[in-house]
Structure 1
């Protein structure tokens, strides 16, 4: 069954590109493809696919540079980075090039398809969805907060954590649940890493990060997000 959604697969490894393209077509997606960064940039801007699967290492122009270039030209759809090493994720976070999400190679095709379906469901129909708490707006599709007219950038992981809390306001969420949502099933991160990201996120959303109003710790369990609407 056709989904009438176009996905661009940008990957210079011919075997992997063939496998991904074949699977996505089987799932009913329209697929366009490229093996070169420079060519891919042109393809993305010409065709405006709903989703771009973009390899990190490409001839012509690196994937991350392609991502930055198309974002600057106004491309707002989903870009999923395919990275060979999980360490690259830190680079994505550090430089905030406008990546929507990432998947680490080698990946399972079912996981890739599930990720795309999830992104299409969450980002495409509701591209304009904005969450508000206090005097702050969260724009998940551009990984940003807006407060007092100023934009505050979030990393990919901070964005995922905050989005999950805002979708579950008032609910107590265990660290395990949060790690599964944020890092996925194959995660080998520990709770200290999660807590470190929460601390960083608090610095961006709280007036006093040491005494959080919104993102509160639930002792022995995890966290919960409280929005009393008092400050709106």
Structure 2
């Protein structure tokens, strides 16, 4: 089924790289491997894979630098960052270098495969080159976590990107806080509702004309949130 889908796997731990590559090949993906940042850039730019699985800590060049560099060279496909500590997510979101998503180590292989399958279903099978969501005068490009508002680019952090994407896929539906936290931070996350609400406030500042009286991202008292648009 996935014969034509290429995944670049960038990981310096040889054992882990072998295990992930073997599993992905079993699932029918074509896997390209790289063990350091410099090699990774070359492999990605020459082969233009559909998905990049990129380790955060790499010899030669950090994962963040690799991602920033390939984005600068026009690579607009999915980049999933693999990171060893959940705390790194906060560091990752402090950089706007164009990661589409992340997965924390140690990860379960089934979860990784499900995540990749899901990404492919949503983004590679859409008719457009990249997934794009439009609402009001805005366009959301989740692969490069970019929001275009009235023709101007607005950078989204990884977490803001995940939150907005989930709302856009579930527009006009009431989403409770627990569901949203599970979707955005995942199962093993130690996160509270205050953290979520803080991200919602930051996201509102980027999308709403009047963040104090939101038109799109509305609060549903005692339950959670609802993203309203036609």
Regarding TM over 0.5, the answer is yes
Instruction: Tell me how far 1:2 sits from its aligned partner.
Output: 4.5
| Residue 124, structure 1, aligned to residue 99, structure 2 | no
How many aligned positions are there? 228
Q: Distance in 2 between matches of 1:143 and 1:8?
A: 20
RMSD: 1.4
Instruction: Tell me how far 1:221 sits from its aligned partner.
Output: 0.4
Q: Which residue of 2 aligns with 1:217?
A: 219
> Structure 1 residues 44 and 128 mapped into 2: Cα distance closer, same or farther (>3 Å)?
closer
Structure 1: 5+ residue stretches without partners:
none
Q: Which residue of 1 aligns with 2:9?
A: 9
Q: Which residue of 2 aligns with 1:57?
A: 57
Between 86-95 and 23-32, the greater mean CA deviation after superposition? 86-95
Q: Distance in 1 between matches of 2:8 and 2:143?
A: 19
Q: Secondary structure at the match of 1:185?
A: coil
Q: Which residue of 1 aligns with 2:169?
A: 167
Structure 2: 5+ residue stretches without partners:
none
Instruction: Tell me how far 1:159 sits from its aligned partner.
Output: 1.1
Q: Distance in 1 between matches of 2:195 and 2:202?
A: 11
Instruction: Tell me how far 1:175 sits from its aligned partner.
Output: 0.5
Q: Secondary structure at the match of 2:190?
A: coil
TM (normalized to structure 1)?
0.94
Q: Which residue of 2 aligns with 1:143?
A: 145
Between 149-158 and 85-94, the greater mean CA deviation after superposition? 85-94
